[in-house]
Amino acid sequence: MSGAVKALLASLMILAVLVGSAGAVVYGYLQRVGVVGDSDPGKRVTVVIARGSDASEVGDLLARKKIIPSGFGFQIATFLEGGGDKIQAGRYKLPLGLTAKDALARLTKGARAQDYYRVTFQEGSWLTDFAETLAKEGDIKEKAFMEFVKSGKVRSKYGPPGGRSLEGLLFPSTYEIGEGEAAASVVKRLVEEFDERATALKIGQAPGLSPYEAVIVASMIEAEARVESDRAKISTVIQNRLHAQMALGIDATLRYALRKRGGALTLSDLAVDSPYNTREVGGLPPTPIAAPGEASLRAAIHPADGDWLYYVVSDCRGRHAFTESYDQFLADKARYRALTC
């Protein structure tokens, strides 16, 4: 242990005696230098620990790479936790935002034991988004991932008979992926997570819908809702329109067909010949159009009580106005267009 660390700890002990609230003061300092608290892992970076490096050198390196907040904090952690002499040399891929304690734990286990990375898939992702995220954050190629999710080799129990695509059937969340883990293994985990969540939510109880139809509805809710309170109401509009045999008229399904995330839809876009054009084709689209999260799945299973048939964005926060009257819908639409967001 360096003289600086000894001096700091001695000072902290003296402070603990002199200050009534010293515990909070000491804890606050240790948290600031990353000795205590929780990690908040971010992007991975590569770091090489040279053979013979001491705790001071390792801590300074990790701090320069932004893996931990303070090299000095790392020295304190090695004193408090022990293991400074067990840091293993090697090439590591470590996430930014670790505490000194967590970084030390990874380095004492060795590079091979820590060869994994954390990936977050956003709600509303398309299969292509999953593929792009994995390619960006890890080692799985987009082409390999896309080929596998369309191969039918891994199936969700909530997928349609004979269906091959897993669109909407991979659960969007944060996962730890092993370095070198194959696309097949990752896809299987994402599907298993979706099946577990959907089962826990009792997706088979969605009114008037098969489980797969409920997933399709949930995917449209995910694409359309901007605030939590709108989800169940959007679910109601979709199901009311289905019961009334009205076209759903949801532009998110058309955007999915066109692979067009943003921007205005042109007249030619609105007239595109596609089963996903719910302005022209009745009923549900043939597949989900996004990966629904738990809140949207729940809304598909438990729609709100209401007779609404229309909704339109009503304010600059993305909230919607709901109505059963077409004239009121037009008035709500004109009111929104007059806003200067």
Q: What is the mean pLDDT of each run of 10 residues along the chain (341 residues)?
A: 56 51 54 62 80 89 93 90 84 86 87 69 96 87 92 93 92 86 91 96 95 98 95 98 96 94 86 94 96 98 97 91 95 88 75
Q: Residue 17: what pLDDT?
A: 47
Q: How far apart are CA 338 and CA 224, in angstroms?
A: 21
Amino acid sitting at position 320: H
Amino acid sitting at position 162: G
Residue 310 and residue 140 in contact, taking contact as beta carbons nearer than 8 Å: no
Sign of CA dihedral 72, 73, 78, 80: positive
Distance between alpha carbon 5 and the CA centroid of its chain, in Å? 40
Pair (110, 124) in one structural domain: no
Angle between helices 3-18 and 71-81 (to 10 degrees): 80
**In 3D, which of 185, 145, 193, 139 has the Cα closest to residue 165?**
145
Pair (213, 320) in one structural domain: yes
The position carrying tokens 């969007």 is: 172
Pair (220, 195) in one structural domain: no
Q: How far apart are CA 167 and CA 176, in angstroms?
A: 21
Query: Per-residue b/e over 20-50, b at no fewer than 16 CB within 10 Å?
Result: eeeeeebeebbeebbbbbebebeebeebebe
Pair (195, 241) in one structural domain: no
In the beta sheet, which residues pair with residue 93? 46
> Which residues have CB under 8 Å from 65's CB, separation 6+?
45, 47, 94, 96
Pair (30, 41) in one structural domain: yes
Q: How far apart are CA 89 and CA 335, in angstroms?
A: 64
pLDDT in tens, 176-230: 887 778 899 999 999 999 999 999 999 999 999 999 999 999 999 999 999 999 9
In the beta sheet, which residues pair with residue 320? 313
Q: Residue 23: what pLDDT?
A: 53
- Considering its fold, how many domains does the chain have in total? 3
Pair (191, 216) in one structural domain: no
> Which residues have CB under 8 Å from 268's CB, separation 6+?
none
Cα 333–Cα 335–Cα 339 angle in degrees, nearest 5: 115
Beta strand 310-313 with 320-323 is antiparallel
Dihedrals phi, psi of 330, to nearest 5 degrees: -65, -40
Pair (37, 99) in one structural domain: yes
CATH of the domain at 110: 3.30.1490.480
Q: Where a domain ends, among 51, 80, 114?
A: 114
Pair (228, 322) in one structural domain: yes
Pair (33, 8) in one structural domain: yes
Pair (69, 127) in one structural domain: no
Q: Residue 162: what pLDDT?
A: 84
Q: How far apart are CA 221 and CA 304, in angstroms?
A: 13
Domain of 103 in residue numbering reads as 3-114
Q: Residue 210: what pLDDT?
A: 96
Q: How far apart are CA 33 and CA 65, in angstroms?
A: 15
- What is the pTM (predicted TM-score) of this model? 0.70
DSSP 174-214: EEEEETT--HHHHHHHHHHHHHHHHHHTTGGGSTT--HHHH
Q: Residue 131: what pLDDT?
A: 95
Pair (132, 24) in one structural domain: no
What is the Rg, in whole angstroms, of the alpha carbon atoms belonging to the chain?
Answer: 26
Q: Where a domain ends, among 135, 170, 200?
A: 200
Pair (132, 50) in one structural domain: no
Dihedrals phi, psi of 323, to nearest 5 degrees: -155, 160
Q: Where a domain ends, among 168, 200, 232?
A: 200
